[in-house]
Structure 1
Amino acid sequence: MRVVRGDFLQGGPMAKRLVVAPTNGVITARGLVMGAGAARALAQAEPRLPALFAEAIRRVGTQRAGWWEYGFVAAGPYGAFQTKGDWRNPADLGLIRLAASRLRDFLEVHPGLEVHMAFPGIGLGGLKPEAVLRVLEEGLGPQGERVVLYRLR
């Protein structure tokens, strides 16, 4: 896994990459809530994603009290990496662990794909980067070699 400074929306050739934003588990009539940070930037770049992600989440996720647990879903060349249940809460290392394991499974069946992801859980999520990296390394295993994490600062 590499950590770089920059914008996760700008990395690598689109044909070989999956662009991933940290997300939550709240679905409304308009789709997955993607109202802040990297999730918002991704939704602005591709406005259909909240609805597409919500469809995918409903297929594989489990509904909790007011939110969905899903870990990771993809819609075309884009992915939603769950860091929170409710968007109002801090990020949760348990959800990040689940998301990392689901992303690992996805990468195992998609050889040659590289993930370009905004560093999850550290901005509005409030977690320490070292803790998140440890969970990501454990959850992704060898597939972590194909993940590039982006930090703006």
Structure 2
Amino acid sequence: MRKRTKARQLSLQVLYQMDLTSDFSDKVLNDFWVNRKEEVEPEIKQFTSELVEGIRQERESIDSKIAKYAKNWELKRMAIVDRNILRQACYELLYRPDIPYKVAINEAIDLAKRFSGEEAGKFVNGILDKIRLKALEKK
């Protein structure tokens, strides 16, 4: 598994825990690293932390973008996994110009298929493609 793919999976685990407990403090990320049984390579840990911290800082903006393009879906009614995959990919699309759109979207689709199911992959792809197109219009 590629390092950034692994980091995205770890980030999703942290975001899931934050969302489930409604605790978006940095304590959750710190506890996650302390309680890990297996060692994580520094590069993976760094990228995971960057994703989680960035999403924490921009969560309101990210959530409003997702809500805008998720027609007939309230954010709070989405599956927690899907919601956080969308948050992560949306953050990458909007705030990480170093990550190509195609990579962010494909990684999100793969995560959705793996952790939520085939239909979730289509759902995530549809929303992220709309966000991507709108972001490209602004450039």
TM-score, normalised to structure 1's length?
0.39
Higher relative contact order (CA 8 A, sep 6+): 1
Give the number of the structure whose residues are more often helix, by fraction. 2
TM-score, normalised to structure 2's length?
0.42
Give the number of the structure whose residues are more often strand, by fraction. 1
